[in-house]
Chain A
Amino acid sequence: MIEIKDIYKTFGENAVLKGISAKFKPGKNNLIIGGSGSGKTTLLKCIVGLHEPTKGDVIFDGQNFTAMDFEQKVPIRTHIGMLFQNSALFDSMTVEENIMFPLNLFTNQTHAEKLDRANFCLERVNLKGKNKLYPSELSGGMKKRVGIARAISMQPKYLFVDEPNSGLDPKTSILIDELINELTEEYQITTVIVTHDMNSVMGIGDHIIFLHQGKKWWEGTKNEIAHTDNKELNDFVFASKFMRAAKARL
C-alpha cells in the first residue's frame, strides 16, 4: 500500500503542497484531481521520488521511501511503472526497444524471453506488430499505449499516470482510461492517476482525492462526488454545462 504523510513542497517562496496526507487503495484506481496549479503533478512527482518533499513521508508497503538513498530506492522503483503526460518514450529507440529497456537493465532474461514479454505487452495495449516503429512515427494515442506497455513490462505493483488524456480526442481518451482500468483490475495494480478530465473521474475513479490550493480538500468515490456539498469541488467538477445537466438528471 502507498501512504503519504503530511507532504509539504515549496519552490523558493512558493508553497505548492501544504501538508497532504492520504492512503491509496491497493488494487484500485486512485485519482488525484484538481484545477491547474493545485499541485497534482507536484504531488505525483513527490510520491515517485522525482521531487524531494520539503517535509513529510511517502511510504511504500511500510517502507519510508523518502528516507532512502538512490540505491535503496532501486528495488522499490522496479515495482513502479509510470505513464508520463507526453509519454516520455526514448526517441532513439524503437517501440520494442523502449519496452525491453527496463528488462535489459533489471532482469537476467534471455533476448527471446524479453522479446516475448515485449510482444505480450504490445498485444495487451492493442499495438501488435508495431515493434519496429520509432516514437516519431506514432500518433499521440499510440504513444500513450506504448508508454503503458513500457510501464507494465516489469509487472509493476504500482502504476502512476500523469494526465493520461491530455492531447487525445474523446474516443481515444476513453480507450486509454479503459485500458488503464483493465490493467489495474487484471493485475491488481495500485494505480494513481493525476487528471482533470471529468470523464476519467466518473468512469474509473474508485478513490478520488481533490486538491485545492495545495491542500487535500475532499476525498471520496465517484458515487459520492455527485452528491457532495463541497463548494470548491462542485465548482471544479460541475464547471461545464454538460456536467451540470448530467448532475440534474441524477
Chain B
Amino acid sequence: MFHSLGKYILLLRLSFRKPEKFSVYWAEVMREMVSVGVGSLGIISIISVFIGAATTIQIAFQLSSPLVPRSIAGSIGRDTTILEFSPTISSLVLAGRVGSSMASQIGTMRVTEQIDALEIMGVNAPGYLISPKVIAGVTMFPILVIVSIALGIGGGWLACVLSGDVSPADYLAGVHGGFEGLTIRVALVKAIVFGFLITSICSYQGFYTEGGALEVGQSATKGVVFSCVMVLFADLVITRVML
C-alpha cells in the first residue's frame, strides 16, 4: 500500500512538471474539459432531477406531522442536495463515467505502446496525459455540481407540482428560508477534491497497466473502486472539518 502511495505521489509530481509547449497542453486541457464537462451534463442532469424529486417526496412523507411546517421539506431538501447529493452522488456517478474512461484510455495507450512512443519523442508522458485530465476534473466538477444543485432543487419543486405532497409555494419558501452560504462553499470544496481524486487515481491506475485488454479492464475497475472509496472517505473528512 505504501509502495503504491509513493508511486502515486511521484506520478503526480511528474504530471505537473513544466510542459514542453504550453499551447499543446492547453489544447489538451480544453479537450478534456469538454469531455468531462459537456460529456457528463446529460447523466448529471438526469440523476439530479430524479434524486431531487425523490428526496423531496421522502422528506414530505417522513415529516408529515401537523406540528412541522410543510416548508421544511424545501429547506431539508435544499441542504441535503447541496451538501451531499449533488457533490457526492454526482461524483460517484462521474467516477463511473469519467474515471473508467480515463483509466481505460491511458491503459490502452500503455499496452499499445503509445505511451512509449510519447517517451521516445521526449514528451513527459504523465504531464501530457494526466495533468490535462486532473485540471479538467478540478475545474469541471464544481461546475457540474452547481448545475446538479440547481436541477436537484428544481426536481424537488417538480415533485411538489406533480405529487401535491407539499405545495410548490411551501417548498419554495423552504428553499429560500435560512439559506447559509457555507453549504455552497462545502459543496464546492468537495467537488474540487473529488474531481482531483477521481481523475488522478483513475489516471494512475491506467498509467501503470501491464498486459493486454483484460488488464485494461481491470485497471478501469480498480480506478473506479478506489476512487469511490476515497471520495466517500474525503466526504466524511471534509464534512467533519468544515461543518
Contacts and interface: CB of A to CB of B under 8 A. Distances in A.
Contacts of A74: 20, 122
Nearest to B25: A105
Contacts of B109: 90-91
Contacts of B113: 84-86, 88
A70 B121 CA distance: 12
B120 A82 contact: yes
Contacts of B163: none
Given A88-B113, A90-B114, A105 B24 contact: yes
A88 B116 CA distance: 8
Size bracket, chain B contacts: 10 to 19
B116 A84 contact: yes
A80 B20 CA distance: 17
B58 interface: no
A135 to B, nearest CB: 10
A48 interface: yes
A88 B124 CA distance: 17
A86 B24 CA distance: 25
A75 B120 CA distance: 11
Contacts of B21: 104-106
A43 B114 CA distance: 19
Contacts of B116: 45, 50, 84, 88
B221 to A, nearest CB: 21
B117 interface: yes
Contacts of B121: 77-78, 80, 101-102, 105-106, 154
A73 interface: yes
Interface string A44-62: 0100111000000000000
Given A70-B124, A74-B122, A82 B117 contact: yes
B193 interface: no
Nearest to A75: B122
A105 B123 contact: yes
A106 B123 CA distance: 9
A104 B27 CA distance: 11
Contacts of B124: 70
A106 B117 contact: no
Given A84-B116, A105-B21, 8 more contacts: A50-B116, A70-B124, A77-B120, A82-B117, A88-B114, A91-B108, A91-B109, A104-B24
Can you list the 4 inter-chain pairs with the closest CB atoms, starting with the nearest? A77-B122, A88-B113, A88-B117, A74-B122
Interface of B: 20-21, 24, 108-109, 112-114, 116-117, 119-124
